[in-house]
Amino acid sequence: MNRYLFLLVFLLGGMLSFAQLPIPPWDVPADLAGKANIVELTPKSVSEGKNIFTHSCVACHGAKADGKGLILSADLISPEVQKQTDGAIFHKIITGRNQMPPFAAMLKESEIWAVVNYLRVLVNPTLVPPAKDVKIKLAVNDEKKIITVLVVSADSAKFPIPEMDVHFYVKRQFGLQSIGSKSNLTNVDGKVNFRFSDKIIGDTLGNIVLIAKIENNFLFNDTQTSVSKVWGTKLETQDATFNQRSLWGSRDKSPVWLLFLANGIILGVWLVILYVVFSLFRLKKSGKIFLK
């Protein structure tokens, strides 16, 4: 018995010691650390970097890049990370380590450099000018199911704004469903066209709420507009089947035998508890009689 106990203590101690081992430093060769950022730090590149970070990095590193995501990760806004060169951060992103996958096969080099720019601006927002307001205008072609977005400045001049990334969503009951490409840039006239897919499901009548949104942009503040159209595929429901009793139904639609079984188990547990309490009182009373 003592031998097995010793073996158990030894194994637990070894696991604890392994868990407490310090993470080895992540050194980057000097030639790779000295690699220059090929993407200029501009509001456009920072906006692109933020968009990529939101889709690919937030889950682990958190919305603030402080490492407080679903998995405890490196704090990318800490002085220890920020003092590293752009080349060193770039190299770590493309190679990955431990739970962090290598992004070399997932992202273009220019996209990774844009993420590096975004991480710099997170710590020092003064690297880009203050964000401005914009307005979104919509034009709809019902026959071809095409929506044209026009992005203009919010001042009285209403200048068209080119290379503005517009995101499209469909409103759902519990949030927004992203549709279309990840990036939809306006042309020199400040316009971008979006063709609605026939595969998107609406309500029982085919109604959908289409949202055009400008977000994750350092040069301009977030804004959005929406339009309701009968462009979606009609939602087909099986009311007859839904209203029948089934194992996957709500409580009022559960099978009768299941209701009796569940409530019978609960009732049985309570009866056992009451019997135990009653027996304890009887034992206590019997003890008093015996002592007399």
pLDDT digits (tens, 9 = 90+) for 227-277: 999 999 998 776 656 667 777 677 777 888 888 888 999 999 999 999 999
Comparison of pLDDT for 78 and 43, the residue scoring more: 78
Residue-level pLDDT at 22: 54
Strand ranges (E), the chain = 134-141, 146-153, 167-172, 175-179, 191-195, 208-214, 223-229
Comparison of pLDDT for 126 and 241, the residue scoring more: 126
The pLDDT of residue 292 is above 70: no
Give the least confident one: 30-39, 72-81, 123-132, 238-247: 238-247
Mean pLDDT of 80-106: 91
Q: Do residues 152 and 190 lie in contact, with contact meaning Cβ atoms separated by under 8 Å?
A: yes
In tens, the pLDDT along 178-207 reads 998 878 889 999 999 999 988 899 998 999
Residue-level pLDDT at 246: 73
> Confidence class of residue 176 from pLDDT cuts 50, 70 and 90?
very high
Any idea what DSSP says for residue 90?
Answer: H
End-to-end CA distance of the chain: 47
The pLDDT of residue 72 is above 50: yes
Q: Model-level pTM?
A: 0.57
> Confidence class of residue 20 from pLDDT cuts 50, 70 and 90?
very low
Q: Do residues 36 and 89 lie in contact, with contact meaning Cβ atoms separated by under 8 Å?
A: no
Apex 172 CA angle, 166 and 174, nearest 5:
115
Residue-level pLDDT at 115: 94
The residues near 216 (Cβ < 8 Å, ≥ 6 apart) are 47, 50, 51, 54, 165, 222
Q: State the Cα–Cα distance between residues 145 and 195, nearest whole angstrom.
A: 6
